[in-house]
Amino acid sequence: MIIEIPLSDILIDRMQYEDLKEVMEIEKEAFPDPWHVSFFKRLLHPRKKHMHLYVARLQDKIIGYVVFYLNFGEGHILNIAVAIEHRRRGVAKLLLTFALEYIETNAADVVFLEVSVNNSAALHLYKQFGFEVYGQRKRYYSDGSDAYVLRKHLQR
């Protein structure tokens, strides 16, 4: 089922431990080899100050999330996913715009990410945002597929 939603109704909010049940539902439907909930919990630990986890919330429901970190002037997008019934409505664009703005205003001038060479939806998304292929990691994923390393320079 496709659900029509005005993007202005979506709130981007810090991920909390209480969000993990809903986040895991999206994670499991989004990836053949999903992150374990304990990994999200580790990243959410207050000591991990360089890690940033944000959810897209529509009313009380989580419909997507993005995970990124900042390190020595570089941003890294680690994860982004949108619930299947909310895809193709601009939610990933909203999350990625938020992440890139955050990274840019917090002293990074370049962003990297890895994406499966077979993930055409994500490759289209990143291309729209000006990411370019920087390298390729052979057999990066558990199914043996390769990843592109994508890079985008920011305009600080």
Footprint on this chain of ligand COA (rule: CB under 6 A): 30, 80-82, 87-93, 115, 119-122, 124-125, 128
Based on CB atoms, which residue is closest to ligand COA, 49 or 138?
138
Based on CB atoms, which residue is closest to ligand COA, 104 or 116?
116
Cα→Cα distances 56→46, 65, 86, 90, 151, Å: 20, 6, 11, 11, 24
The sign of the CA dihedral 29, 33, 37, 40 is negative
Based on CB atoms, which residue is closest to ligand COA, 136 or 156?
136
Q: How far is the CB of 92 from ligand COA (least distance, A)?
A: 3
Based on CB atoms, which residue is closest to ligand COA, 47 or 74?
74
Q: How far is the CB of 30 from ligand COA (least distance, A)?
A: 4
Cα→Cα distances 55→45, 65, 118, 141, 154, Å: 16, 4, 25, 25, 23
Q: How far apart are CA 37 and CA 42, in angstroms?
A: 9
Q: How far is the CB of 80 from ligand COA (least distance, A)?
A: 5
Q: How far is the CB of 47 from ligand COA (least distance, A)?
A: 26
Helix (H) or strand (E) segment spanning residue 98? helix 91-105
